[in-house]
Amino acid sequence: FKGIVQHEFLHALGFYHEQSRPDRDSFVTINWSNIQAGKEFNFQKRSDINSLGSNYDYSALMHYGKTDFSKNGQNTIDAPQPIGQRNGASDADIIQMRLVYQCNSGPRDLSSYNANRCTNDCPCWENAQGCNGNSNACQGDLVCSNVFTSISRGGGLIKLRSEVSPNMCFDLSSGNTENGNVIHLWECNGT
């Protein structure tokens, strides 16, 4: 129930559903014919949503699940990653709350949340086969196994750069570079 309470609390703080972002059509597909009559408003895009420059967050607490408000058990939202978790706020949710309310203090400073570049996890790293090939879910053309050319330490994180896409980097707070680790990608532009 914790995630449901947090979801409703985020509404009270002024947050909207992730699938209502104006750019959502680039990330999910809404199946209007599967939505219960009178519930369509829950899936409308809102031009007044400010995503604060954050990437689309499939793991957002504010994202509906694939069959929420379904009239026939079929998906109301098609997404390439799991959506609709109610376990608790994602790192991106926390970053957005702290940015909106200018809260710089807390148990972790903002830079400790994936170097303040919170993006969606690259699911190919969860693939037991190592995902030897490009993943459509990854930003850029990252080949998800052993493609590192440089390692630098900064801010307590290890920054790795891909040979395939040198403008995309990712941080590993544990320092573990073995296949199977979930990563967060961000655009580093050669820095």
Residues 46-94 have pLDDT tens digits of 998 888 777 889 999 999 999 999 999 999 999 999 999 998 888 788 8
Tell me what the pLDDT averaged over the chain comes to.
68
Instruction: Quote the percentage of the chain above a pLDDT of 70.
Output: 52
| 184 assigned ligand-binding residue | no
**Domains present along the chain, CATH in parentheses:** 2-114 (3.40.390.10), 123-187 (no CATH)
Instruction: Calculate mean pLDDT across residues 88-105.
Output: 76
Query: For position 89, what pLDDT does the model report?
Result: 86
Indicate if the pLDDT at residue 42 is higher than 90: yes
Q: What is the pTM of this model?
A: 0.57
- The residues near 181 (Cβ < 8 Å, ≥ 6 apart) are 125, 172, 174
Q: Catalytic amino acids?
A: 8
| 17 assigned ligand-binding residue | yes
| 7 assigned ligand-binding residue | yes
Query: For position 137, what pLDDT does the model report?
Result: 36
Judged by phi (left if over 0) then psi (alpha if -120 to 50, else beta), residue 83 lies in beta
Greater model confidence, 27 or 173: 27
- Rounded to whole angstroms, the Cα distance separating 148 from 134 reads 15
Instruction: Calculate mean pLDDT across residues 3-21.
Output: 89
Indicate if the pLDDT at residue 96 is higher than 70: yes
